[in-house]
A and B are shown apart, each in its own frame.
Chain A
Amino acid sequence: EPEVTQTPSHQVTQMGQEVILRCVPISNHLYFYWYRQILGQKVEFLVSFYNNEISEKSEIFDDQFSVERPDGSNFTLKIRSTKLEDSAMYFCASSADRGPQETQYFGPGTRLLVL
Chain B
Amino acid sequence: GQQLNQSPQSMFIQEGEDVSMNCTSSSIFNTWLWYKQDPGEGPVLLIALYKAGELTSNGRLTAQFGITRKDSFLNISASIPSDVGIYFCAGPETSYDKVIFGPGTSLSVIP
Chief secondary structure at chain B's binding surface: loop
Chain A hits for B96, CB < 8 A: 98-100, 102
Residues of A within 8 A of B35 (CB): 106
How many interface residues does chain B have, given as a range?
20 to 34
Evaluate whether A103 and B42 lie within 8 angstroms (CB atoms) in the complex, with A33-B98, A44-B101, A98-B97 already known.
no
By DSSP majority rule, is chain A's interface helix, strand, loop, or mixed?
Answer: loop
Q: Which residues of B contact A76 (CB under 8 A)?
A: none
Instruction: Indicate with 1 or 0, residue by residue over B37-66, a CB within 8 angstroms of chain A CB atoms.
Output: 000111111001010000000000000000
User: What count of chain A residues pass the 8 Å CB interface test?
Assistant: 27
Report yes or no: A101 in contact with B97, Cβ–Cβ below 8 A: no
Q: Give chain B's interface residues, CB within 8 Å of chain A.
A: 30-31, 33, 35, 40-45, 48, 50, 88, 90, 92, 95-104
A-B pairs with beta carbons under 8 Å apart, 28 shown: A4-B42, A35-B99, A41-B103, A42-B101, A42-B102, A42-B104, A43-B43, A43-B90, A43-B101, A44-B101, A45-B100, A55-B97, A56-B95, A58-B98, A98-B96, A100-B30, A100-B31, A100-B50, A100-B96, A101-B31, A101-B48, A102-B96, A104-B99, A106-B43, A106-B44, A108-B40, A108-B41, A109-B41
